[in-house]
Amino acid sequence: MGLWTRLFGRSRNEALPLYNAIVARGRADHWYLAGGVPDTLDGRFDMIATVLAVVLLRLEEEAQAPEVATPLSVQLTERFVDDMDAQLRQIGIGDLVVGKQMGKMMSLLGGRLGAYRDGFVASDLGPALVRNLYRGAAPGDDALAHVAQALSDFRARLAATPLDHLAAGDLP
């Protein structure tokens, strides 16, 4: 039994299937082809962070089993941190800079959560997407509409997906 499990009673590996499904969803071709998301290191980070944010918002809204959703949300965020840390090191960023970059990435994720939460409430993801996914450089109208609709549809399907299916990595 690992230290994490002894301290917190749950294995961090419980979130791995869902995190892997989020990454796979964020790498789907349609985001980059029809959605105009830049197929770059930053663009892929932005898309994965966007999909993660939508899933975290779904978990935040879980009323039936918050005792499951809250730890899963924490574990997903920790998986994201672990993955991004490893990615930074793989591209050659040294120990002295990784901490600063991780702080920036977590701030970006937090900003996305707020922006997308507000965008979904207002039924207008456009401004949040331009600022967060496209980093201020608005794509064409068709590309923006594609991503906004795909994320809205994804959110609706997530809302109808049982928590145990999500935890197993079964993204709709």
Q: What is the pLDDT at residue 114? A: 95
Burial class (CB in 10 A: 0-12, 13-18, 19+), 101: middle
Residue pair 54/159 in contact (Cβ under 8 Å)? The answer is no
Whether the per-residue pLDDT at 111 is higher than 50: the answer is yes
Average pLDDT of the segment spanning 128-136: 95
Average pLDDT of the segment spanning 134-155: 97
Q: What is the pLDDT at residue 41? A: 87
Q: What is the residue-averaged pLDDT of the chain? A: 87
Whether the per-residue pLDDT at 100 is higher than 80: the answer is no
Q: What is the pLDDT at residue 29? A: 98
Distance CA 88, CA 78 (A): 15
Distance CA 6, CA 169 (A): 24
Whether the per-residue pLDDT at 48 is higher than 50: the answer is yes
Sign of CA dihedral 124, 127, 133, 139: positive
Distances (CA, A) of 125 to 53, 155, 158: 13, 12, 17
50 contacts: CB under 8 Å, gap ≥ 6: 26, 112, 116, 129, 132, 133, 151
